[in-house]
Chains A and B, each alone.
Chain A
Amino acid sequence: MSAVETILAPQVQAQEHEHEVLPFWRQYIFSEDHKIIAKQYMISGIFWAILGAGMSVLFRIQLGFPKASLGWLKPLLGGWITETNNLDPNFYLALVTMHGTIMVFFVLTAGLSGTFSNFLIPLQIGARDMASGFMNMLSFWFFFVSSVIMFYSIFISTGPAAGGWVIYPPLSALPQAHPGSELGMTLWLVSMTLFIISALLGGINYITTVINLRTRGMTFDRLPLTIWAFLITAILGLISFPVLLSAALLLIFDRHFGTSFYLSEIYIKGEALPNVGGSPILFQHLFWFLGHPEVYIVLLPALGITSEVIATNSRKPIFGYHAMIYSMIGIAFLAFIVWAHHMFVTGMNPFLGSVFMFLTLIIAIPSAVKAFNYITTLWRGNIVFTPAMLFSIGLVSLFVTGGLTGIILGNSALDIQLHDTYFVVAHFHIVMGAASAFGFFAGVYHWFPKMFGRMMNQTQGQIHFWLTFVGIYLIFFPMHYIGIAGFPRRYYQFTSFDFTKSSFADLNMFISIAAALTFAGQFIFLWNVFYSIFKGKKAPLNPWRSSTLEWTTPVNPGHGNWVGEIPAVYRWPYDYSKPGATEDFIPQNVPYSQTTESNFPHETALIAEEKNMLPYSPNDQFRTEAH
């Protein structure tokens, strides 16, 4: 085949794709298009977030107003409101468990990573779609079935799983120990098994796509930090989720097939069980081998999004691009060898505690580097307060404030007192929950124009930010005090103990009010999203004046993202405010030969290589389809 034919072939193919019209259910429901799948994840994530956060408001009512009569909730909760108009203690535990499960897995893993890895990976690396559109579709629908099962479990008569989101056996293994360990726990395990399959299918796809489908010129050191973050996140998930699957499978065996992986020497409900030789600690090791990387699975995409948004809206290159990548890799590596810091007081060998304390505190170093790099990026920038930028700035603040208390908790000697108190709750809600949620908000505000071709209302977005940001601090900052006072978490009420019953009732009330208001504030966001999808102002091609590839697609990118050839990439993604340049940003697809006025000497030297650039992307999926 001659060179000319090779060049022409993809264009012909691309034309054919333009005319391909799929039936509605193939285009919008069982879609293989990464953009549609991303939106599906986003909508499901938002749905779960409302439910999960709503649950937290419910149990905050219980914690803030323990004496209140909750009869008015009867239409909603039915039998879970007792005859004395109180919240059923078992349902309280179910609420905290489901809140944790939903927020960690369904919102911050699927909602965040699912939305933005799917949406941005092909668009930012210059690919037509994911490596396997079919697997991608399968990933979403596994997640969907998993969601349906988890959702169903909320409504069964014995209630959903209720042993805490960590579902430690034996409590979770023994139906006689708690009503939440009956059918609810079975459904939790089935749902999570499907969820893990979904996460693996998605993760393999993300990794493969980033490695194989980058457009010409898009070398690894020209990848936007978002892509680096998604890639590392996917690798983390791929290594750690199967371990949770194994933990869940063994638990299923213990529950239904009489094995004793986690059970030993148990006497319950007047009966000594035959199980001997198992270890509940084994489950905790397996669980946290996922559980800790999971923290970074939810946080790294948020940090990736933040990197991109802060650079774009500071009109400055991200400071220390390489340091950012190395610190993410460092965090990801360390994430696998710090899990037992959740287990300092489980009776684990104290020597292991020392080792894990040491490894845990090392993780503060790459985290600190990231924080300082964000701050330096702000320094002498020209900061545009788009809602996305505000959420990114807020994220850095939360990441630092919440991360610092991690240094206390990672210290095994100090963790003795603070473990399983509200200090821990405050810590991880700020650094992992709120920070990651801020990443989600930043992402939606920033890429909404690309997703829906319309703009969101910026003023509403800014109000939403300040309400949420102040709200998060009002909720979780005082929670540290309650933790220092020794209040244990997962307590239905604090009236049984002298050390808890006479203090902080007003502070708990305050936190509950702040939580309810912050939750209410999220409806501004919801309104903004759904109104703007239909009625928002039409988006320009590149509303944030950003230099990454997704903004070179049409306003509403169709199947295959680019019309005609995929653009080539000549430079890194952060050429903002380059001295001498005519604009304050230079898109990645602009060759150095066109920017001679702003090139650095080493960049001028690269001009000679530009003529070697292929005239088409060798990884173009449409093109390979032609052969």
Chain B
Amino acid sequence: MIYAVGLLSIVFLALAIMVIVRVQKILKGVNGEESDDYAVNVNANAIACLVFLILGTIGAVWSFMSSRAYFLPEAASKHGKVTDELFWFSMGLLTIACVIVNVLIFYFAWKYRYVKGKQATFYPDNIKLEVIWTVIPMIVMAALVFTGYRAWTDIMSDAPQDAQVIEIMGKQFGWQVRYPGVSDNKLGAFNFKLINDTEGNVFGIDLSDEASFDDFTNSSEMHVQVGKPVLLKIRARDVLHSVFIPHMRVKMDAVPGMPTKFWFIPEKTTDQARADLGKPNFDYEIACTEVCGQGHFGMRLRLIVEDEYSFKKWMAEQKPFLTEHPELISKVPDNLKAKAAKYIPAVEAPADSTVAQVQTVGIGTASIK
């Protein structure tokens, strides 16, 4: 609330500027100094320049201080810490430049305001000055390019061999996640022509590839292990999407027909983050940042960072895609059916009613066709 009041006060400050301008104008009118049409309200505008400079600086500092609390918390990934540091360093440098330049602009505007009969200084060029202010930005830019380049090449380098591979696929409107499974730790092949929403094959998983038998999928959350590199294999099946994990400083487009990737090392578990932030309901989230249609603003996926034990436990609990959709055994080539069989829940013991249901639905759809 205090925050809102403060913000509104900026509006009033702006209005105050207007009032000052008006008052000055009236005063000038009374004095009758500036009867000529050529230069009107000189002092009023000169003062407004100064007022803008002072109030603007106060407003900028104050608004920054009061907004800081709502910025994203410290990066929860290794590379994120680097880019954050680089960001705030650059920001600091640029703020200095911004302040200097704006002070000069408005100070000069005030200081050298029109005075009738005053002679301006004829000063058309100065090579030395030009060289100075070409070279200084050049050096600063070179420094920024160098640090940025190093960070960028590190981030974009190949993922470590031991990285946990996770596939994330964007669709209208939600994220789908696929894990390579616990048995072979290898993502099975996919083909967009095999995608069939009614049969449940949202990914287009190719069941003629035995690596896909133990793959499991999820459409609401992604689990990763703290401290272990994660390699996201990113794709989209309809239009462009973009994987954005704000707390991890991760972003990469999901492109139909062109798989992309991004790897990062999460450094803080969800539990730890909850404790640090004092928010028991805090969650890492994955959002979409490439406009993809009506539901673009709601493509949420929870990201859960946990310790090795919990992660392994969660992995072990997940049911492979094939187990979830046993009717798809028909898509498995005959020579691999034996291998696939162990992922098919035993028919004689349909303890899991959902599986049974899915089966019926599957059969039902098939018969309609």
Cross-chain contact A266 with B64 (CB below 8 angstroms) = no
Indicate if A279 sits at the interface (CB-CB under 8 A): yes
Given the interface contacts A375-B105, A584-B119, does A417 sit within 8 Å of B83 by beta carbon? yes
Chain A contact patch, size range: 35 or more
A371, A383, A396: which has the most chain B beta carbons within 10 Å? Answer: A383
Q: Report how far A489 CA is from B290 CA in the complex, Å.
A: 9
- A320–B253 contact, CB under 8 A? no
Residue of B7, B137, B148 touching A506 (CB-CB under 8 A): B7
Q: Which residue of A lies closest to B38 (CB)?
A: A384
What B residues does A272 contact at CB under 8 A?
Answer: 192-193, 195
**CB <8 Å contact, B281 and A408:** no
Q: Flag whether B138 is at the interface (Cβ < 8 A).
A: yes
Select the stretch in B123-131, B178-186, B322-330, B332-340 that faces chain A.
B123-131
A551 to B87, alpha carbons, bound, how many Å? 49
- The CA of A334 and the CA of B190, in the complex, are separated in Å by 42
**For the complex, is B48 an interface residue (Cβ under 8 Å from A)?**
yes
CA distance A478 to B101 in the complex (A): 20
Q: Which residues does chain B contribute within 8 Å of A267, judged by CB atoms?
A: 192, 195, 204, 237-238
Contact (Cβ within 8 A) A407 B119: no
User: Quick one: which of A350, A374, A381, A498 contacts B152, CB cutoff 8 A?
Assistant: A350
- When chains A and B are docked, how far (Å) is the Cα of A177 from the Cα of B106? 50
A residues 353-398 in Cβ contact with B at 8 Å = 353-354, 357-358, 361-362, 364-365, 368-369, 371-376, 378-386, 390, 393, 396-397
Residue pair B41, A268 in contact (C-beta under 8 Å): no
Q: Which residues from A are CB-within-8-Å of B290?
A: 168, 420
With A353-B156, A354-B153, A484-B72: A496-B298 Cβ-Cβ less than 8 Å: yes
Contact, CB under 8 Å: B255 / A281: yes
The answer for the CA separation of A96 and B97 in the assembled complex, in Å, is 32
Stretch in B256-264, B307-315, B342-350 with 4+ CB within 8 Å of A: B256-264
Chain A residues, Cβ within 8 Å of B163: none
User: In the assembly, what is the distance between CA of A493 and CA of B296, in Å?
Assistant: 10
**Complex: A170 Cα to B109 Cα, angstroms:** 50
The segment from B207-215, B223-231, B243-251, B354-362 found at the interface with A is B243-251
The answer to whether A276 touches B98, judged by C-beta atoms less than 8 angstroms apart, is: no
CB-contact partner of B125 in A93, A320, A473, A504, under 8 A: A320
Query: Whole-angstrom distance between the alpha carbons of A173 and B120 in the complex?
Result: 59
- Chain B residues within an 8 Å CB radius of A372: 129, 133
Is A86 located at the chain interface by the 8 A CB criterion? no
Q: Which positions 463-497 of chain A face chain B at CB distance < 8 Å?
A: 463, 466-467, 469-471, 473-474, 477-478, 481, 484-486, 488-494, 496-497
A239 interface residue per 8 A CB criterion: no
**Nearest-Cβ distance from residue B190 to partner chain A, whole angstroms:** 10
- Contacts A354-B149, A400-B101, A497-B300 given: A458-B37 contact, CB under 8 Å? yes
Complex Cα–Cα for A317 and B193 (A): 68
A525 interface contact, C-beta 8 A: no
Is the CB–CB distance between A380 and B86 below 8 Å?
no
* A375 and B101 contact, Cβ closer than 8 Å, known pairs A462-B45, A491-B296, A584-B119: yes
Asked whether B10 is an interface residue with its Cβ less than 8 Å from the other chain, the reply is yes
A621 within 8 A of B: no
Is the beta-carbon distance between A469 and B52 smaller than 8 angstroms?
A: yes
A171 pairs with B94, CB closer than 8 A: no
Residues of B within 8 A of A2 (CB): none
- B134 cross-chain contacts in A, Cβ below 8 A: 365, 368-369
Chain A residues with CB below 8 A from B63, complex form: 477-478, 481
Residues on B with C-beta less than 8 A from A347 are: 234, 252-253, 255, 258, 260
For B120, give its contact among A369, A474, A486, A577 (CB under 8 Å).
A577
Judge whether B70 and A385 touch: CB under 8 Å.
no
- Whether A488 contacts B258 by the Cβ 8 Å rule is no
For residue A529, give the distance in angstroms from its CB to the closest CB of chain B.
18
Segment at the interface with B among A129-137, A507-515, A588-596, A604-612: A507-515
Judging by beta carbons under 8 Å apart, are A170 and B283 in contact?
Answer: no
Q: How far is the CB of B268 from chain A (nearest CB, A)?
A: 15
State whether the Cβ of A270 lies closer than 8 Å to any Cβ in chain B. yes
The answer to whether A369 touches B133 (Cβ under 8 A) is yes
If A178-B294, A345-B242, A397-B102 touch, does A357 touch B149 (CB 8 Å cutoff)? yes
| Contacts known (A268-B172, A347-B255, A357-B148); A492 close to B37, Cβ less than 8 A | no
- Contact flags (1/0) for B290-303 with A, using CB distance below 8 Å? 11111111111000
**A255 CB–B CB distance under 8 Å:** no
Chain A residue numbers with a CB within 8 Å of B122 are 316-317, 576-579
Closest Cβ of chain A: how far from B70's Cβ, in Å?
A: 4
The answer, yes or no, to whether A619 is at the interface (CB within 8 Å) is no
Give the contacting residue for A407; candidates B45, B90, B251; CB below 8 A. B90
Complex CA gap A380/B122 in Å reads 9
Q: Which of B11, B91, B120 contacts A315 (CB 8 A)?
A: B120
Q: Contacts A494-B297, A578-B122 given; indicate if A177 touches B195 (C-beta within 8 A).
A: no
User: Contact: A353 with B300, CB < 8 Å?
Assistant: no
A601 to B45, CA, bound (A): 39
Chain A residues lying within 8 Å of B72, measured Cβ to Cβ, are: 484-486, 499
Expressed in whole angstroms, the minimum distance between the Cβ of B293 and any Cβ of chain A is: 4
Residues from chain A with Cβ under 8 Å of B141 in the complex? 361-362, 364-365, 407
Any B CB within 8 A of the CB of A164: yes
The contact string, 1 if C-beta is below 8 Å from chain A, for chain B 248-288, is: 01111101111010000000000000000000011101011
Inter-chain contacts of A470 with B (CB < 8 A)? 14, 17, 52
The 0/1 profile, CB within 8 Å of A marked 1, for residues 105-146 of chain B is 110110011110011111111100110011001100100110
Is B46 interfacial (CB-CB < 8 Å)?
yes
Interface centre among A323, A416, A485, by most B CB within 10 Å?
Answer: A416
B42 touches A382 (CB 8 A): no
Contacts of A420 in B (CB 8 A): 242, 244, 251, 289-290
Question: Would A498 and B282 count as touching, CB distance under 8 A?
Answer: yes
Q: Are A316 and B289 neighbours in the complex by a CB distance under 8 Å?
A: no
Q: A323–B125 contact, CB under 8 A?
A: yes
B152 near A353 (CB under 8 angstroms)?
A: yes
A397 partner, pick from B83, B105, B291, beta carbons under 8 A: B105
Cβ-defined contact, B120 with A382, below 8 A = yes
Which residues of B lie under 8 Å from residue A27 when comparing CB positions?
none
Please give the distance in Å from A51's CB to the nearest CB on chain B: 21
* Contacts A353-B152, A393-B105 given; does A499 touch B252 at CB 8 Å: no
Contacts of A491 on B, CB cut-off 8 Å? 296-297
- Asked if A163 contacts B101 (CB within 8 A), the reply is no
The answer for the CA separation of A280 and B238 in the assembled complex, in Å, is 11
A394 CB → nearest B CB, Å: 9
Contact between B119 and A390 (Cβ–Cβ < 8 Å)? no
Q: Are B83 and A574 in contact (CB under 8 A)?
A: no
Q: What chain B residues lie within 8 Å of A517 (beta carbons)?
A: 11
Given contact pairs A272-B192, A419-B289, A498-B283, A361 touches B144 in the complex (Cβ within 8 A)? yes
| A174: Cβ under 8 A from any B Cβ | yes
Tell me the minimal C-beta distance from B60 to chain A in angstroms. 7
Q: Is the CB of A584 within 8 A of B120?
A: yes
**B253 closest partner in A (C-beta):** A346
Give complex CA distance A272, B194 in Å.
8
B18 at the interface (CB under 8 A from A): yes
Nearest-neighbor residue (CB-CB) of B146 within chain A:
A358
Asked whether A421 lies within 8 Å of B195 as measured between CB atoms, the reply is no
Closest-by-CB residue of B relative to A502 is: B70
A264 within 8 A of B: yes
In the complex, B27 has a CB within 8 A of chain A:
no
- Which residue of the partner chain A has the closest CB to B247? A499
- 20 chain-A/chain-B pairs, Cβ below 8 angstroms: A268-B172, A277-B257, A280-B240, A316-B122, A319-B125, A345-B242, A347-B258, A350-B152, A357-B145, A368-B137, A372-B133, A376-B129, A380-B121, A385-B40, A408-B87, A416-B251, A417-B80, A420-B289, A420-B290, A466-B48
**A361-B145, A474-B11 are known contacts; what are 15 more A-B pairs with Cβ within 8 Å?**
A264-B257, A267-B237, A362-B141, A371-B101, A382-B118, A384-B42, A385-B39, A385-B45, A404-B98, A416-B155, A463-B18, A467-B18, A492-B296, A496-B299, A499-B72
Q: Which 6 A-B pairs have the closest CB atoms?
A: A264-B257, A347-B260, A350-B156, A486-B246, A413-B151, A503-B70
